Structure formats: structure tokens, C-alpha cells
Amino acid sequence: MVANSDGATLERMARRATKPTTRFHTDEWKGYDGLPGIHRPRSTVCHAVGEWARDDDGDGVREVHCNTLEGLWTGLRNFLRPFRGVHKKYLHQYVAVFEWSCNIKRVTPLFIRALLGVDAPFTRCPS
């Protein structure tokens, strides 16, 4: 979460969170205009003309879209729904758990130990 949603804040966060040459796929909000200046190339879709995704190279895959973040926000909302309201003091902790779950690519014994707060390695029960 950031205090300001302006171009300067976006550029600062982009520098911290991405490597140079990371391509951004965005809509045409002017705040994104500075990204190429910090070596983050940008492809855009223009919602004003009804464009939501575009296939630039003609291979049938619409590479240029900006739905990933919108989908993440929907996922966060769905994650929070069972809690029936979260106090803003603790929201960052719920968001951290959601972020962690999004970044886990597969469930491993290490993941389960971390989830359960167990330090000892798992051992199999004898059959």
C-alpha cells in the first residue's frame, strides 16, 4: 500500500520491485508514462476505444492486457470474504498471507512446516 497513487510513486515502486527491462502491460493512465524513462518498457491497451487485450505478434495469444492486477484484487477480495470484515489495523497481515499464497508455486514439506509453524522436519508415520 502506498500513500500516493501518482506517477512518481509508481516509478519509485517499479524501481524497487522490478529489474530494468521488465515489460509493463498497462492501460493508458498518464502516471505510467515515465516507465520507459526508468528502463521499464511499456505496452498499452486503450480502454477508451474498447480495447481490453491485444495480440501484437499475430500468434493468437493476446500478450498485451492489464487484467492480471485486476484479477489479483478480485482474488484478495474473495480471500477476505470468509472473515466477514477485517479491521484496518490488521489488513496488512491478511494481505501478506494472501500475497504469500499467490507466490507459492507448489505445496512442499517446507511450505507445510512454515504454514504450521513447525521447526522440525516431517517424518513419515510407519504404515
* Domain boundaries defined on the chain: 1-65
Of the candidates 10, 45, 38, which has an alpha carbon nearest to the alpha carbon of residue 22? 38
What is the phi/psi pair of residue 26, to 5°? Answer: -135, 175
Residues 18-27: tens digit of each pLDDT: 898 888 888 8
Strand partners, 65: 53
> Who has greater pLDDT, 110 or 17?
17
Mean pLDDT of 101-111: 78
pLDDT of res. 70:
66
Which grid coordinates are listed for 98?
Answer: 494472501
Mean pLDDT of 86-97: 88
Lowest mean pLDDT among 5-14, 61-70, 72-81: 61-70
With 0.75 as the threshold, say if the pTM is over it: no
